[in-house]
Amino acid sequence: MSRITLDSKCRLCRSAGTKLFLKGARCLSSKCPIEKKGAVPPGMHGIKRVKKPTDYGIQLRAKQKAKRIFGIQETQFKNYYLKAKTLKGLVGDVLMNLIQKRLDNVIYEAGLSLSRSHAKQIISHGHVLVNDKVMNISSYSVKPKDVISLDKDIISKHGDDMRLADKDFKAASWLELNKTKHSVSILTDPTKENVSQEIDVNLIIEYYSR
């Protein structure tokens, strides 16, 4: 199975032309390549690439950006789209609802990890509990009233580095964060207002509707 390595993450941001926040705190520091050199596409000819993209190319880039932000592989991403088509509501809204309810995304949005890739790691290593039971599946879909927490080992190791340690950090509106206990409760399903402005859902739907 393919995976995104540490060395390739900055290249993905440069390719997308914007920060995807794949490296956690590093993306907010002066060490970020985009902060140093701008969003120049990777490769020796990157700065010379001025070819106007086609409609298909624009749609593809929008889909790729969303996949990379959430750290989802193509097959899984398409399956979310196919499932969204079978449920009530606008396909785009339902698609993003399904993706945002992934356990790894909730951990990240609640500030309980350094990045989404870090969230996947601590979940797979058994450091995350859902309703006091260990859950090691990153794609697990949370439900209202679920309570997600971290075990003592990961808190002692990364507690001071997590995003919630920032006094100005606020979790998404559909989550209730308890910073003292390093836990988060699901209040309701996420809405379209919770979708990042970096993601163009309409272009993604157009891509899959070809």
Domain boundaries along the sequence of the chain: 1-51, 55-94+196-210, 102-188
Provide the pLDDT for residue 122: 95
Smallest CA-to-CA distance from 63 within 210, 162, 206, 204 is with: 204
pLDDT of residue 37: 59
- pLDDT tens, residue order, the chain (210 aa): 455 554 465 555 556 556 555 655 555 555 666 555 555 666 555 555 567 889 999 999 999 999 999 999 999 999 999 999 999 999 999 999 999 999 999 999 999 998 899 999 999 999 999 999 999 999 999 999 999 999 999 998 887 888 888 888 989 899 999 999 999 999 999 988 888 878 999 999 999 998
Alpha-carbon distance 106 to 99, whole Å?
Answer: 10
Question: Could you give phi then psi for residue 147, rounded to 5 degrees?
Answer: -120, 120
CATH top class, domain 55-94+196-210: mainly alpha
Both tokens of 196, joined, read 């990042």
**pLDDT score, position 6:** 47
CATH of domain 1-51: 1.10.1050.10
Rounded CA gap, 181 and 6, in Å?
Answer: 30
What radius of gyration, in Å, describes the C-alpha atoms of the chain?
18
pLDDT, position 40: 63
What amino acid is encoded at 166 in this protein?
D
CATH superfamily of 102-188: RNA-binding S4 domain (3.10.290.10)
Q: Indicate if 102-188 has the same CATH topology as 55-94+196-210.
A: no
Please give the Cα distance from 203 to 61 (Å, whole number): 9
Phi/psi at 72 (5° precision) = -115, 140
Is residue 103 within 8 A of residue 130, CB to CB? The reply is yes
